[in-house]
Amino acid sequence: MSSWNIVEISSFPDERGNIHIAEYDKDFDFNVKRIYYLTGMSEKTSRGGHAHVELNQFMLCLAGSFDIELNDGILKQKFRMKNDSKALCVGSLVWRDMTNFTADAVMLVLNDRVYSEDRVVRCYSTFEKLVYEKNV
Ligand code: TYD
């Protein structure tokens, strides 16, 4: 089973603009306990560089664009996130690196745990060890 998947959310454009809708049980399958959003990046910015031991996330690009590379220790995949109808569901133990932000980029992240419970791993060799232990 993949540690992440792309979700096509509903969008309704009309002459007044666009409404984009992500809904529990359809687009993501967890209760949201925390949201955060990232602003003020530039093309030189690198964010991420970590994984979470226990966390499910739903990631959206609300404006601009950026690259996100996901790595579960076996599979690596890079996505260009844009302000479109595509979102990313990302599970536990996925290393992520975000780069190449446009100056107007806004990333919104919904999370199923509060920050103190998600157990951030910022050391890549610790991440590799945890992936190994999970897969034996
Ligand atoms: P960091 O994890 O470095 O951000 P990124 O995911 O972009 O790499 O977080 C930056 C700071 O914000 C760090 O001091 C921890 C703090 N933080 C919280 O307090 N709560 C949160 O929910 C998050 C995501 C970060």
pLDDT tens-digit map of 91-135: 999 999 999 999 999 999 999 999 988 799 999 999 999 999 998
Say if ligand 1 is within 6 A of residue 132 CB.
no
Site to probe by mutation for ligand 1, drawn from 47, 90, 117, 120 as the one with most ligand atoms within 8 Å of Cβ, is 47
Per-residue pLDDT, 15:
98
pLDDT category at 46 given cuts 50, 70, 90 is very high
- What SS3 state is found at 136? coil
d(CA 69, CA 110): 18
Place of tokens 């409404």: 19
pLDDT category at 1 given cuts 50, 70, 90 is low
For 16-35, how does the pLDDT look when each residue is reduced to its tens digit (9 = 90+)? Answer: 999 999 999 999 999 999 99
d(CA 136, CA 54): 18
CA 49 and chain centroid, separation: 12
State the distance between the two ends of the chain, measured CA to CA, in whole angstroms: 16
Distance 82 CA to ligand 1 centre (A): 22
Say if ligand 1 is within 6 A of residue 37 CB.
no
What the chain holds in terms of domains, given with CATH numbers, is 4-135 (2.60.120.10)
Q: H helices of the chain, where? A: 124-135
One-letter amino acid of 1: M
